[in-house]
Amino acid sequence: METRPLGRTGLNVPILSFGASSLGQEFRRITIDEALLSVRVALDCGLRLIDTSPFYGRGMSEVMLGLALRDVPRDDYLLCTKLGRYDLAHFDFSARRVAESVDVSLHRLGTDHLDILLCHDIEFVPMQQIVDETLPALRAAQQAGKVRFIGFSGYPQKIFRFICDQTDVDCVLNYNQYTLQNTRFADETIPYLQAKGIGVMHAGPFSARLLTDAPLPPWLKEPEEVKAAARKAVQFCQEQGSSLAKLALQFSVANPAIATTVAGSANPENIRRWSDWIAEPLDQELLAAVQAIFAAVKNIGHTEGLAENN
């Protein structure tokens, strides 16, 4: 699989990475066999950067990954996990919890080091703590050899300048905002990150199933007009003998400014399909037609976290 440099880290990462949230049963019940095979297929297809968090399945995702990777040579994959978010409304970005969380994640994952460690969903807390306490604690873990590169993740575009204007990080992760419907990450933030040499990662090319043929989940937060446009786009792609999900994935990985796009599934067939899709050329005519469908709702999203962070 094609790779791209992750900022100034020296890491070359695959343009498509494996998101392991599904291994924590975040979306449906899964079997151990499904979890183990999904990881194996991801590695076989070249998705050698794996993204997880102690929040996913409240530890289950990391445990499952530890089992799946037990007999895989450590040089064959890159691990990204997170800290600070441990349940839907439980956040702890204190320096003490950073040290504990790093060691717990290392134990669950069965490794002696993490390639990337991110503060998870920082928009849910007063963000000055991330600058003053959390990131310095991550740097200490980095200096101890437990972590190679550090950064943070979140949804609102405001968070990136707030943190990176005050301190240095190696990489960041945004989600659901470099898609067929929403390109705010590229429009507002990526040039700023590139100028600082910060590694750029994006998750959610399907925007929480919005850009797939699957029924829309009840927890999807996008406005009704966005959902309606997405259903129209699904039908149009089907009429053209294609699928909106395929176009969405191809579009997201095509941007050379984004080092890697993270997509997750506990279905091995999905992962194989994704690998095949990104090896095919992007249909520019179909892309233009679908972008026209989304034009009236382009970049319309929702708020996440504290109002002050949006």
The pLDDT, as a whole number, for residue 26 is 76
The pLDDT, as a whole number, for residue 96 is 98
Q: Which residues are catalytic?
A: 56
Mean pLDDT of 12-25: 92
Distance between CA atoms of 200 and 21, rounded to whole angstroms?
A: 20
- Residue-wise pLDDT for 168-184, tens only, equals 999 999 999 999 999 99
- Residue-wise pLDDT for 27-83, tens only, equals 778 888 888 999 999 999 999 999 999 999 999 999 999 999 999 999 999 999 999
CA angle 207, 210, 211 (to 5 degrees): 85
Distance between CA atoms of 268 and 266, rounded to whole angstroms?
A: 6
- Residue-wise pLDDT for 219-265, tens only, equals 899 999 999 999 999 999 999 999 999 999 999 999 999 999 999 99
DSSP state letters, 181-218: S--HIIIIIHHHHHHHT-EEEEE-TTTTTTTSSSPPPT
Query: Considering only CA atoms, which of 280, 268, 273 is closest in space to residue 245?
Result: 273
Using alpha carbons only, how large is the chain's radius of gyration in Å? 18
- Residue-wise pLDDT for 77-128, tens only, equals 999 999 999 999 999 999 999 999 999 999 999 999 999 999 999 999 999 9
Task: Give per-residue burial for 23-50: e unless 16+ CB within 10 Å, then b.
Answer: bbbbeeebeeebbbbbbebbbebbbbbb
Average pLDDT, the chain: 96
Tokens describing residue 291: 């972008």
The pLDDT, as a whole number, for residue 70 is 95
**pTM, to two decimals:** 0.96
Residue reference for tokens 């089907």: 238
Domains of the chain and any CATH numbers: 12-210+248-282 (3.20.20.100)
Assess whether pLDDT exceeds 90 at residue 22. Answer: no
